[in-house]
């Protein structure tokens, strides 16, 4: 158990819909990362938040957005869903202190199926 929790574990929805994935980082971690794992693209970095602020952006679609709240949990919002958005979405957290150990610990993931 990494200490990172993600809900829900599974999500089935229809094209055009909007969903929210939730992540709670390990206690004390300030950084949260989101990754997408799909069969055709592999594991890809989407976005990073640090202490409530966006820190880095990767291959995240404009239909996707994220935020980190004052209690440090994060949400990834996926809208206008398409079949190709079906994937496993991981959240990871790290301490986030400059010069510190930036090892990322991953949650169990949310499996999204868009029908």
Partner 1 sequence: AQSVTQPDIHITVSEGASLELRCNYSYGATPYLFWYVQSPGQGLQLLLKYFSGDTLVQGIKGFEAEFKRSQSSFNLRKPSVHWSDAAEYFCAVARGSNDYKLSFGAGTTVTVRA
Q: Which of 24, 109, 112, 114 binds partner 1 (CB under 8 A)?
A: 109
The answer to the question of residue 70 lying near partner 1 (CB under 8 A) is no
Q: Which of 90, 112, 114, 115 binds partner 1 (CB under 8 A)?
A: 90
Other CB atoms within 10 Å distance of the CB of residue 76 = 23
Non-local CB neighbours of 106 within 8 Å, separated by 6+ positions: 2, 4, 35, 90, 91, 92
Size of the site for partner 1 (CB under 8 A): 24
- 45: tokens are 């970095």
Question: CB burial class (10 A; 0-12, 13-18, 19+) of residue 106?
Answer: middle
Q: How far is the CB of 81 from partner 1 (least distance, A)?
A: 22
The answer to the question of residue 26 lying near partner 1 (CB under 8 A) is no
Q: Which of 14, 27, 42, 70 binds partner 1 (CB under 8 A)?
A: 42
DSSP three-state, residue 69: coil
DSSP three-state, residue 85: helix
Q: Which of 35, 74, 81, 114 binds partner 1 (CB under 8 A)?
A: 35
The answer to the question of residue 104 lying near partner 1 (CB under 8 A) is yes
Q: Provide the binding-site residues for partner 1, judged by CB under 8 A.
A: 2, 31, 33, 35, 42-45, 48, 56, 58, 90, 92, 94, 98, 101-109
């Amino acid at each position: 158990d990494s200490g990172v929790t993600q809900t829900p574990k599974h999500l089935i929805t229809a094209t055009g819909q909007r969903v929210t994935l939730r992540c709670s980082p390990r206690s004390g971690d300030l950084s949260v990362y989101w990754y997408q794992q799909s069969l055709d693209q592999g594991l890809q970095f989407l976005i990073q938040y640090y202490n409530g602020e966006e820190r880095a952006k990767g291959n995240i679609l404009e239909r996707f957005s994220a935020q980190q709240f004052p209690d440090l949990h994060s949400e990834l919002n996926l809208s206008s869903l398409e079949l190709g958005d079906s994937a496993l979405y991981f959240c990871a957290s790290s301490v986030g202190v400059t010069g510190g150990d930036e090892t990322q610990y991953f949650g169990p993931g949310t499996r999204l199926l868009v029908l």
